[in-house]
């Protein structure tokens, strides 16, 4: 059983990228109290089940919250202590003291008085402990931008007379400052709401894709014949129709439960190592392993041999299903998954590999499995409630083997994605863009010939005519094959931009027949390389920051990866927009930091992470640690706009497929700079 669990851990881990747990989401604001006094406001939204300890929690217990203000007393003074919103108190049996903590929301307020009009901002830090069943120590740094100093009204005299026009002008200027501050807050709030809506949309897209994958898996030869057999068994053997329906629905519930339970090890792995998903998805040998496994599945689907789980395991689980009651039904559901593994295993892998985004971690994996389980269980539950419709199901036959062969072609195409990931991470250039696309043209071209009846496999039934559905699928597949062909000559192929290597990773980066001229090469700044769409990109942080200071432009940090699918989607579908591209080329300095770069760091630059205890030995590990330490996440892609003092200009964003949203974010940051 341990070996099988380990296999599941490997099979479903690819392409998942971890998100560092952030139970508290902070917002900041500055209130202008007049007379050069201000209130700095920290507002933290605390996730359900978590709590943050107060500044006043007693000694001997959890760590209290600590607020510090950089350069206090030099240009500005603190007025009193940092005040807190309402807290709760409860006795802790472990520490033997009362805990004082916040739940749901925490608001901190600190009044300051500006003495030096040149002070434009205040840097403050919060250090606190946030706990659920586990505890996390967090350190956050915030920069508060103070309003411009108000100009005092000059005293009227013979040489300096204040006119009504002067007074009105100053009033207008003061109103403008207030309006700008209010507008800025509205923009930031609007951006946050849009980000939340975007996240919700992305999560539901993942769930829906996995759900559809589960439904597709039910029409495989391993599962489809089981639907009428299982439903009929429950309805006939349960004694009454009501009990039979309940048992069939409970059977479906058990299928969903088993799918979700499979993801539990990933939560443990993510808790032990926040980078585990990134490391798995970019591990060269693991990607090669997946290439071999999916190729074997594909050959099996073509009819060369049959893949089954160990018969001893299947028999043992099947015998447990004879125990009766709810436990017996649970083991019946487990038997279905084990027996049909050869069909649903690759389908499940395909769904997870193409649907997980870059910033969900184990929870997104669980959500995808929940959707897949629901899709797989739905037919069993539906026909239990409407058994009269069972007679309308198509009969099992040769069409099921056709479905299996189609899956085989898809598995083979997906297998080369894993091989491409390994090649990209190694930067070996064996499987460049043109080669990858040529392989896909061959695979989907062969699938078209198969659907048209020009190719047959061992278990195919004789084909004397094409059904309407098969003919339509054949035309669709052939059209897709034709669509791929221009990609051999440099076409962007936006429909599949997440799968092939990027345009820069090809024999002809500038398109077929083009070459890199001396003029284009010299146009790049020293230390920069040609990134996507010819954007000058720095792959060293310090070099990019120095160049940004030299040319007076803001910095766009692009936390990316060689084998990051969502990064390629952003570059192909969003960065290619003319307005977005204009800003990326002319108004910002791009620094691309690859979190999966395997190049070894010099011995003198290697170190041990204080947070995870892991050795930072490669360039990718260095940038992942840098991202996590500074921005509290290791999601890819992740975009940060900052000024020359390395302060962020607006809220960083992750995968943002909507062009208008991303463009607005870019414009907002550039304007604030």
Burial class (CB in 10 A: 0-12, 13-18, 19+), 356: buried
pLDDT average, residue stretch 162-176: 39
The model's confidence at residue 165, banded by pLDDT at 50, 70 and 90, is very low
DSSP designation for 44: E
From first CA to last CA, the distance across the chain in angstroms is 57
What confidence tens digit (pLDDT) does each residue in 297-319 have?
889 889 887 766 556 655 665 56
Higher-pLDDT residue of 285, 510? 285
3-state class of 279 per DSSP?
Answer: helix
* Range in 50-54, 204-208, 523-527 with the lowest mean pLDDT: 204-208
Say whether pTM exceeds 0.75. no
User: Tokens representing 252?
Assistant: 């479906």
Q: What is the predicted pLDDT for the residue at 267? A: 73
Q: What is the predicted pLDDT for the residue at 504? A: 80
The model's confidence at residue 516, banded by pLDDT at 50, 70 and 90, is very low
- Chain centroid to Cα 89, Å, comes to 37
- CA dist 442 and 424 (Å) reads 22
Q: What is the predicted pLDDT for the residue at 231? A: 79
Q: Is the pLDDT of residue 465 over 60?
A: yes
HEC profile for 574-596?
A: HCCCHHHHHHHHHCCEEEEEECC
- Chain centroid to Cα 225, Å, comes to 37
What confidence tens digit (pLDDT) does each residue in 528-583 have?
998 888 899 999 999 999 999 999 999 999 999 887 878 888 998 899 999 999 99
- CA dist 70 and 5 (Å) reads 50
Asked whether 594 and 532 are in contact (CB, 8 A), the reply is: no
Q: Which of 547, 541, 627 is nearest to 592 (CA)?
A: 541
User: Tokens representing 294?
Assistant: 């999916």
Q: Is the pLDDT of residue 320 over 80?
A: no
Q: Give me the percent of the chain exceeding a pLDDT of 90.
A: 28
Q: Is the pLDDT of residue 190 over 60?
A: no
Q: Which of 283, 353, 285, 272 is nearest to 11 (CA)?
A: 353
C-beta atoms surrounding 112 within 10 Å: 24
Residues 6+ away with beta carbon under 8 Å from 70: 122, 123, 124, 125
DSSP code per residue over 322-346? GG-HHHHHHHHHHHHHHHTHHHHHH
Q: Is the pLDDT of residue 153 over 90?
A: no
What confidence tens digit (pLDDT) does each residue in 255-290 have?
999 988 887 877 776 655 555 555 666 678 878 888
- CA dist 631 and 501 (Å) reads 28
What confidence tens digit (pLDDT) does each residue in 225-248 have?
888 888 787 777 766 778 888 888
Q: What is the predicted pLDDT for the residue at 177? A: 38
The model's confidence at residue 431, banded by pLDDT at 50, 70 and 90, is very high
What are the residues facing 400 on neighbouring strands?
none
Q: Which structural domains are found in the chain, ordered by start? A: 37-149 (2.60.40.1250), 201-398 (no CATH), 432-513 (no CATH), 518-672 (3.40.30.10)
Asked whether 279 and 421 are in contact (CB, 8 A), the reply is: no
Edge-to-edge order in the sheet of strand 589-594: 528-530, 536-538, 589-594, 555-560, 638-642
What are the residues facing 98 on neighbouring strands?
91
Q: Which of 330, 304, 331 is nearest to 318 (CA)?
A: 331
Q: What is the predicted pLDDT for the residue at 178? A: 38
- CA dist 432 and 427 (Å) reads 10
3-state class of 178 per DSSP?
Answer: helix
pLDDT average, residue stretch 668-672: 94
Task: Round the CA-based radius of gyration of the chain to a whole number and report it.
Answer: 30
DSSP code per residue over 119-170? --EEEEEEEEEEESSSEEEEEEEEEEEPPPPPPPPPPP-SS-PPPHHHHHHH
Q: How many CA atoms lie within 13 A of 116 on its CB side?
A: 12
User: Tokens representing 390?
Assistant: 């069972």
Taking every pair of Cα atoms in the chain, the longest distance, rounded to a whole number of angstroms, is 109
3-state class of 244 per DSSP?
Answer: helix
User: What's the residue count for the chain?
Assistant: 673
Averaged pLDDT score across all residues of the chain:
79
Q: Are strands 589-594 and 555-560 parallel, antiparallel or unpaired?
A: parallel
Burial class (CB in 10 A: 0-12, 13-18, 19+), 71: exposed
Q: What is the predicted pLDDT for the residue at 449? A: 96
Q: Is the pLDDT of residue 194 over 80?
A: no
Exposure string over 529-539, b if 16+ CB within 10 A, otherwise e: ebbbbbbbbbb
Burial class (CB in 10 A: 0-12, 13-18, 19+), 501: buried
Q: How many CA atoms lie within 13 A of 521 on its CB side?
A: 5
What confidence tens digit (pLDDT) does each residue in 324-361 have?
678 888 888 888 877 777 677 666 665 555 444 444 56
Evaluate the omega torsion of the peptide bond into residue 168 and state whether it is cis, within 30 degrees of 0: no
User: Tokens representing 309?
Assistant: 């789980």
What confidence tens digit (pLDDT) does each residue in 392-420 have?
777 777 788 888 899 889 889 988 988 99
What confidence tens digit (pLDDT) does each residue in 600-629 have?
999 888 888 877 677 888 998 899 889 988
Higher-pLDDT residue of 72, 184? 72
């Amino acid at each position: 059983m341990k070996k099988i669990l380990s296999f599941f851990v490997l099979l479903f881990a690819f392409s998942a990228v971890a998100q560092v747990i952030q139970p508290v989401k902070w917002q900041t604001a500055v209130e202008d109290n007049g007379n050069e006094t201000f209130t700095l406001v920290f507002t933290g939204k605390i996730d359900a089940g978590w709590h943050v300890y107060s500044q006043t929690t007693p000694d001997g217990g959890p760590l209290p919250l600590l607020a510090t203000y950089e350069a206090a007393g030099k240009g500005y003074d603190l007025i009193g202590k940092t005040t807190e919103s309402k807290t709760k108190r409860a006795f802790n049996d472990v520490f033997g003291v009362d805990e004082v903590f916040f739940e749901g929301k925490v608001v901190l307020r600190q009044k300051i008085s500006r003495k030096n009009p040149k002070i434009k901002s205040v840097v403050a830090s919060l250090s606190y402990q946030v706990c659920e069943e586990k505890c996390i120590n967090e350190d956050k740094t915030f920069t508060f931008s103070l309003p411009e100093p108000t100009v005092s009204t000059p005293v009227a005299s013979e040489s300096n007379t204040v006119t009504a026009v002067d007074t009105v002008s100053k009033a207008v200027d003061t109103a403008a400052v207030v309006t700008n501050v209010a507008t800025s807050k509205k923009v930031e709030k609007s951006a946050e709401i849009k980000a939340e809506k975007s996240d919700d949309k992305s999560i539901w897209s993942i769930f829906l894709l996995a759900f559809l994958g589960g439904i597709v898996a039910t029409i495989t030869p391993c599962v489809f014949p089981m639907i009428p057999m299982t439903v009929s068994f429950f309805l006939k053997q349960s004694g009454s129709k009501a009990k039979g329906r309940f048992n069939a629905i409970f059977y479906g519930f058990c299928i969903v439960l088993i799918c979700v339970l499979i993801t539990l090890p990933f939560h443990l792995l993510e808790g032990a190592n926040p980078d585990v998903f990134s490391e798995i998805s970019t591990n060269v040998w693991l990607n090669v392993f997946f290439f071999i496994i999916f190729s074997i599945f594909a050959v099996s689907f073509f009819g060369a041999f049959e893949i089954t789980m160990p018969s001893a395991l299947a028999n043992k689980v099947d015998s447990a299903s004879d125990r009766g009651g709810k436990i017996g039904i649970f083991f019946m559901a487990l038997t279905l998954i084990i027996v049909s593994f050869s069909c649903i295993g690759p389908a499940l892998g395909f769904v997870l590999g193409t649907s997980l985004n870059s910033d969900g971690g184990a929870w997104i994996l669980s959500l995808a499995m929940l959707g897949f389980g629901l899709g797989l269980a739905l037919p069993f539950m539906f026909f239990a409630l409407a058994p009269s419709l069972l007679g309308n199901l198509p009969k099992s036959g040769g069409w099921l083997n056709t479905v299996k062969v189609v899956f085989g072609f898809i598995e083979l195409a997906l297998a080369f994605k894993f091989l491409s990931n390994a090649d990209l991470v190694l930067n070996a250039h064996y499987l460049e863009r043109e080669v990858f696309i040529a392989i896909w043209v061959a695979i989907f071209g062969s699938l078209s010939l198969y659907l048209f009846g020009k190719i047959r496999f061992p278990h195919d039934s004789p084909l004397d005519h094409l059904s309407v559905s098969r003919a339509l699928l054949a035309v669709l597949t052939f059209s897709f094959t034709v669509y791929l062909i221009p990609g051999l000559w440099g076409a962007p192929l936006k429909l599949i931009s997440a799968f092939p290597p990027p345009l820069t990773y090809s024999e002809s980066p500038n398109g077929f027949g083009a070459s890199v001229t001396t003029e284009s090469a010299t146009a790049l700044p020293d230390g920069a390389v040609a990134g996507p769409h010819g954007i000058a990109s720095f792959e060293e942080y310090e070099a990019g920051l120095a160049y940004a200071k030299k040319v007076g432009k803001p910095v766009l940090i692009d936390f990316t990866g060689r084998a990051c699918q969502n990064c390629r989607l952003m570059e192909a579908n969003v960065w290619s927009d003319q307005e977005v591209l204009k800003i990326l080329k002319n108004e910002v300095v791009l620094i691309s930091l690859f979190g999966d770069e395997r190049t070894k760091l010099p011995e003198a630059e290697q170190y041990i992470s204080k947070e995870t205890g892991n050795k930072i030995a490669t360039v990718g590990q260095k940038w992942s640690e840098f991202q996590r330490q500074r921005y509290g996440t290791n999601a890819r892609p992740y975009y940060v706009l900052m000024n020359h003092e390395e302060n962020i200009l607006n809220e960083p964003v992750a995968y943002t497929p909507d062009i208008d949203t991303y463009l607005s974010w870019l414009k907002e940051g550039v304007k604030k700079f």
